[in-house]
A = this chain, B = another copy of it.
Amino acid sequence: MLYDRIYNFSAGPSMLPVEVLESARDNMLNYEGSGMSVMEMSHRSKVYDDIIVKAEAQMRKVMNIPDNYKVIFMQGGATLQFAMVPMNLMNKNHKADYIVTGNFSGKAAKEAEKYGKVNIAWTGKDINFSRIPRQEELKLDPEADYVHICFNNTIYGSCWDYIPDTGDVPLVADMSSCIMSEPIDVSKFALIYAGAQKNVAPAGLTIVIVREDMLGNVNPITPTMCDYTINAEAKSMHNTPPCWCIYICKLVMDWLLANGGLEARKAINEKKAALLYDCLDHSDFYVTSIEKGSRSKMNVRFNTPNAELDAKFVKESVAAGMSNLKAHRSTGGLRASIYNCMPIEGVEYLVDFMKKFEAENK
């Protein structure tokens, strides 16, 4: 690859567009004639204001975000959102439904217990998180302040293939590992949040998209920086925002729009995922434990026949110019994270490698 780059299958932080990196590089010491790096700019300056305003405007275009939603650039990752969601939204009936489909949705539920009553409306724990629940399996409480889901499960490699119907109860989704990978109907959600480090920007930026009627009812013990209302009113400028990450986010939004937007991403991402799942489904060497219909198009998890071969696979994949194919420590095995910026050539290269590895080790 150009610049001797490798195919990086990291679950996050993950690959960024080469064009974005080139632009960041070329403007490093003097951003567009401003005489300084973006890292050195006052966040209150005109030149930086132009960056943050465009980052939001471009994101609204990319995701087709309705006007009655606020976009907030925050910090602390999805893990801080696990607390912010209940601190901001669990203040009417002081209870919420959590659907547990993997590691992070479980952590979100546990964190929410600090602030109110958590009802586990479904959990995949007993089936090793091998699938997403069907609508009729959800034990939803009509008096819950919200229902929380994790839309794509990075560690287990599963993803919702429908948006659950929660009636009048607001739906909150952690979309850290699938945001902007395909078009979604934002209006079906009361709140979407995402750590930016997979599809959007470098680590250190959290995206929050919140319907305006969800604001204004915060728990009084909420830190100012965790209050959606204050941060939305301040247009993400209550204090100094993570300026560099927002700048890269803006460049990524430009790149998405210049390359066909989310419809184009969806087509490419489906093609990439199909290449890998076809390879797995036509093999009696590799297995994937996630049921069809629940499979993630972002994180493809699989195993060879045993742990020794998994380790050999990782070692040889590194030698072949690929990185981060080892799965999370909590599941073991292998995982290919194929976010927006993994080119199709990278997936083709991996599939060729997998076939060769299978032939040599069967």
Contacts and interface: CB of A to CB of B under 8 A. Distances in A.
A43 to B, nearest CB: 7
A204 B75 contact: yes
Interface stretch (A10-18, A92-100, A266-274): A10-18
Given A114-B220, A226-B223, A35 B238 contact: no
B248 A39 contact: yes
A35 B4 CA distance: 6
Interface stretch (A23-31, A132-140, A299-307): A23-31
Interface string A59-90: 00000000000000001111110111001000
A321 interface: yes
Contacts of A24: 28
Contacts of A6: 34-36
Contact of A203 (B197, B221, B242, B248): B242
Contacts of A83: 223-226
A282 interface: no
Contacts of A79: 224-225, 238-239
Given A10-B42, A15-B40, A42-B324, A203 B35 contact: no
Interface string A219-247: 01111111000000000001111111100
A123 interface: no
Nearest to A114: B221
B3 A16 contact: no
A25 B321 CA distance: 23
Interface string A161-198: 00000000000000000000000000000000001010
B80 A223 contact: yes
A34 B322 CA distance: 11
Given A5-B30, A16-B40, A204 B244 contact: yes
A37 interface: yes
The interface centre, meaning the residue of A11, A12, A41, A204 with most chain B CB atoms within 10 A of its CB, is: A204
Contacts of A16: 37, 39-40
Contact of A5 (B4, B35, B75, B111): B35
A344 to B, nearest CB: 18
Contact of A40 (B14, B42, B78): B14
A76 B35 contact: no
The interface centre, meaning the residue of A25, A37, A241 with most chain B CB atoms within 10 A of its CB, is: A37
A14 to B, nearest CB: 6
The interface centre, meaning the residue of A28, A78, A202 with most chain B CB atoms within 10 A of its CB, is: A202
Interface string A117-158: 000000000000000000000000000000000000000000
A41 B10 contact: yes
Interface of A: 2-6, 8, 10-16, 18, 21-22, 24-25, 28-30, 33-37, 39-43, 45, 75-80, 82-84, 87, 111, 114-115, 195, 197, 202-205, 220-226, 238-245, 248, 321, 323-324
